[in-house]
Structures are given as structure tokens and as C-alpha cells.
Amino acid sequence: MTHRILILGGTTEARQLAGKLVGRKDFSITLSLAGRTESPVAQGVPFRVGGFGGAEGLAGYLGEEHVDLLIDATHPYAARISANAAKAATKSGVPIFALRRPGWEPVAGDRWTPVESVVEAASALGTAPRRVFLAIGRQESGAFEAAPQHNYLIRSVDPVEPKLAVPDALYLLARGPFPEADERALLEKYGINAVVSKNSGGDATYGKIAAARALGIEVVMIRRPPLPDVPSAETVDALAAKVDHLFDPVAERGV
């Protein structure tokens, strides 16, 4: 029989997981993207774009499409989507797994200032003007309009629209991964003395953290939001193994 799997994606790991699972002939994979990125990279599997209408809408979709497994492989900061996924799985009775990428941990030489939100991050920069590398994407960059005294270097995949209402901001469009050497050159070129980052985890964007450490630059690190407690794994391979075990052909035959 064919098992229908819906992966809530938007991360590199989600795309890798989909590519790994699609090789099984008894799996039908659909990757769902929220649509926040205007030009997503090629996914390699069938995909849909857009929301479901909250937990209720997602639960309805799971039933209508006869989904056998829901996988939450969204970004660690997509807390609302993860919460809706957990609620939808409970309501529909569909099993759920989550891919939970481990966060970064500070090491010797790091100068981290941990904060709970982007609003706190803007405040943590202080009142004196600084040259700030804003590496949190475009969605929440508007919070830094509350600290217009700083000079901002803002990097995002898609353009920040509208531009921030601050006197001095430079915008860079780029998609990771970002090697440490390149990040160090960027920080030095623009004289950056503070980096604002989310604790995304993984290797693709860790370069800026390592570069900041090497240069002695402060990193204002936005803590991760709490996420639902559902069965999870930290790597693509580990989660793929959980999926294989769930749909083990031998177990299904009762052998």
C-alpha cells in the first residue's frame, strides 16, 4: 500500500528528508511551504505553497487527503506553525514526527547576549550608535525601527519591503550557506561591532557566529521559542529511520 506523508518544510533539512523518503516506492511525499520566501529553491518532490487555515484547516486537509503521517520540519522559530501541526495531528488522529535541529551552544571566546525576542534584541544594542549586522531575515526586522540610532547591515533572502524607517541601513540579498571566511570578511568590510542572530542551529549559517567569535564581536542571540512536545529526531537520517520503522513492511505483515 502507499503511505501518504505531508512534510511541513521551508528548511534545508525538510528538502533533504523529502528527497530521502521519496526513494521508497510505497511513500507518496508532499512538501508544504509557507510561502514566505518569494523564490524557493527547487524542492525535488511534489510541493504546495501557502497556509492551511490554522490547526482546524490543517486537520481538515490531513483527513481529506488521507495523510498517514505529518512531519514538522519547519524552522525552529516557526512556533505557531509547529503548534498548529501538533493540534491538527491530535484532532485528526494522524501520527506526527518533528525534525528538531539542535541549537548552537556558546563556546570559549563567544560574547553572547541572550534575549527572548527581537524587541529585546533592539533594546540590548544600547543607546550609543553601533554598526549592526542584522542576520534574522526580513520578517521581523521592523522591530529595529525602535533603535534608529544604529547603522544597520541587513541580510535576507528576499527584499525587506518596505525599507526600515531608519536613517542608515544597507540591504544585502543572499541565500546561505555562508562560510566563516566570507562572514569574517563581511564583518570586517563594514566595521560591524554587533551581530543580531536567531539561534537557528545547523552549519549553513553558523559562519557568522564563528566569525564574530574570531573578531571579538558581540552577538545578541535571540532564544528559541518553546515548541510542542511531539516525537522528534535531531537529524534527517534519524527521522527517516523513525519513518521507516513506523511503516516497516515486515511489521505490517505481522512477520
Whether residue 232 is predicted with pLDDT greater than 70 in this model: the reply is yes
Q: What is the C-alpha separation between 35 and 48, in angstroms, rounded?
A: 9
Q: pLDDT tens, 64-121? A: 999 999 999 999 999 999 999 999 999 999 999 999 999 999 999 999 999 999 999 9
| Residue-level pLDDT at 163 | 95
At residue 252, the pLDDT reads 45
Instruction: Answer yes or no: are the C-beta atoms of 18 and 29 closer than 8 Å.
Output: yes
Cα 144 from Cα 127, distance rounded (Å): 12
Set of cell numbers at residue 233: 529526531
pLDDT at 10: 84
Q: Which residue has the higher pLDDT, 135 or 35?
A: 135
Angle between the N-to-C axes of helices 180-189 and 207-215, in degrees from 0 to 180, rounded to the nearest 10: 50
Q: Does the pLDDT of residue 248 top 50, yes or no?
A: yes
Tell me the percentage of the chain whose pLDDT exceeds 70.
Answer: 93
**Of 8-17, 130-139, 180-189, which one has max mean pLDDT?**
180-189
- In the predicted model, is pLDDT for residue 60 greater than 90? yes
Helix (H) or strand (E) holding 105: none
**Segment 35-60 mean pLDDT:** 78
Domains defined for the chain, CATH in brackets: 3-102+226-253 (3.40.50.720), 112-222 (3.40.50)
For the chain, what is the total number of helices (H) and then of strands (E)? 8, 12
Rg (alpha carbons) of the chain, rounded to whole number: 20
Which is nearest to 10 in space by CA: 200, 220, 183? 200
Task: Render pLDDT for 30-41 as a digit per residue (tens, 0 to 9).
Answer: 999 986 655 555
Judge if pTM exceeds 0.85: yes
pLDDT at 116: 97
Candidates 11, 52, 8, 2; CA nearest to 31 is 8
Instruction: Provide the sign of the torsion angle of the four alpha carbons 157, 162, 164, 167, taken in this order.
Output: positive
Q: Convert the pLDDT of each residue in 105-125 to its tens digit.
A: 999 999 999 999 999 999 999
Burial class of residue 224, CB neighbours in 10 A (0-12, 13-18, 19+): middle
**Which among 224, 214, 208 is positioned nearest to 132, based on CA atoms?**
208
User: Is 162 buried (19+), middle (13-18) or exposed (0-12) by CB count in 10 A?
Assistant: exposed
| pLDDT recorded at residue 215 | 98
User: If you average pLDDT over residues 165-184, what whole number do you get?
Assistant: 95
- How far from 235 is each of 52, 142, 203, 217, CA to CA, in Å? 26, 32, 12, 30
Average pLDDT taken over every residue of the chain: 92
Q: Is the pLDDT of residue 251 over 80?
A: no
Cβ contact 51:76 at 8 Å: no
* pLDDT attached to residue 42: 53
